[in-house]
Amino acid sequence: MSTLQVKEIGDYLVNFRRNLHLEPELSNEEFETTRKIKEALLSQDISILNLPLKTGVVAEIKGSQPGPTIALRCDIDALPILEQSEVSFTSKRQGVMHACGHDFHTSVILGTAFLLKKEENNLAGTIRLIFQPAEETGHGARAILDTHALDDVDVIFGLHNDPTLKIGELGTKHGALTAGVDRFEIHVTSTGAHAAKPEEGNDPIIITGHIISSLQTIISRNVPPRETAVVSITQIHSGSTWNVIPDTAYLEGTVRTFSKTQRAFIQKRMEQISHGIGVTFNAKVELVWHPGPPSVDNAPEWADFALEVGAKAGYKTRVVEASSIGEDFAFYQEKLPGAFVMIGSGGPFDLHHPKFVVDEAALLPASEYFQLLAVEALGKLKQG
């Protein structure tokens, strides 16, 4: 079984990533993606752990000498978006697209695995490579954690491409890098009536208007200006025709926070507002809360380390601002220390845009960076 040279690895990764992009799969449906990853790993004699995973892969490269264990994580799922990028390898699956660059992330860590395999005889320790499913649902990390494959890991690193950073730029920061992400639903149940006789009913649309106005005061009147949080209502449904006051209304939205304190406070305040408005208007107002991942919370020591290694690898490094996007890498950081880094992918379209593209020139350098990061992290841990 031939070992790929660095230039061959670069060419392989471009082709591999394009193949994933052609055939994207949604969260928890990444069966072909999983098969392709396993096939690629086995082609270079890289060990795959036998774990009870529906989709996704955890591989391992064990050095010839004992030592610590680190993990490198990428995500593999796509989004329900109709692609409009017009690249030659546009998605063949109608309405499904790698619009967040997970095909890029997967290819980067696959390349890292190939590079590390070439030097496994010189490694003192173990590197676990996580190809995680279902990041877009916010809960794929838990499936990996439930296998206990990370129980003996000392530190974990993850990546995301960033279209706002140029090719050759790499960034991260101490503490909160992404937001905690929660989803909420509000169900209003009241009494319908003829539109000409509103006094005979209890208009849920009026009630909904008060809910919307009141929820927006949470940020402006309860969250200190020095802190950041978002409450966004993204769906409203009520009624079915022009001359009938309906008896129900429905709202849905998201809350984004960067601290556990604000996260808990906003949920409590929304419950108080919903209950209070229900009492005021003699209606049933029910808040349903769907907790998602918390904030990615980088350990300062490892965030600094990631930037230092980035500079060694030839990147222009920078401390980036926190982003209100969500990332379930945060669940790993609840169990063990680590850092999440942003790799410049060149833009011009943002994540989740139907015209989103990644500059493939960023692929091999990112793989080489994570190879160096893994080796240096083993050395740092070995030194204590």
160: annotated binding-site residue?
yes
Q: Is 352 annotated as a binding residue?
A: yes
Q: Which long-range contacts (CB under 8 A, 24 or more apart) does 90-96 make?
A: 90/21, 90/22, 91/21, 91/22, 91/23, 91/24, 92/22, 92/23, 93/23, 93/24, 93/25, 96/24, 96/25, 96/26
Place of tokens 């507002």: 273
Give me the numbers of helices (H) and strands (E) for the chain, helices first please.
Answer: 9, 16
Kindly state the helix (H) or strand (E) to which residue 374 belongs, with its residue range.
helix 363-382
Written as one letter, the residue type at 253 is G
The rounded distance, in Å, linking the Cα atoms of 242 and 356 is 40
Using CA atoms of 270, 276, 281, 283 in order, give the dihedral in degrees to the nearest 10: 70
Output phi, psi for 178, to 5 deg. Answer: -125, 170
Residue 100, annotated as binding a ligand? yes
Task: For helices 260-280 and 204-222, give the axis angle rounded to 10 degrees.
Answer: 150
Cβ-in-10-Å burial (0-12, 13-18, 19+) of 280 comes to: exposed
Pairing of strands 180-189, 284-291: antiparallel
Tell me the DSSP string of 167-210: TTEEEE-SEE-B-EEEEEEEEEE-B-EETT-GGGSB-HHHHHHH
Using alpha carbons, select from 79, 109, 111 the residue that is nearest to residue 96. Answer: 79
- How many other C-beta atoms lie within 10 A of the C-beta of residue 373? 25
Does 102 appear as a known binding residue?
yes
At 212, is the secondary structure helix, strand, or coil? helix
Quote the radius of gyration of the chain (alpha carbons, Å). Answer: 24
Does 136 appear as a known binding residue?
yes
Q: Which residues are annotated as a binding site for Mn(2+)?
A: 100, 102, 136, 160, 352
Q: Which residues are annotated as a binding site?
A: 100, 102, 136, 160, 352
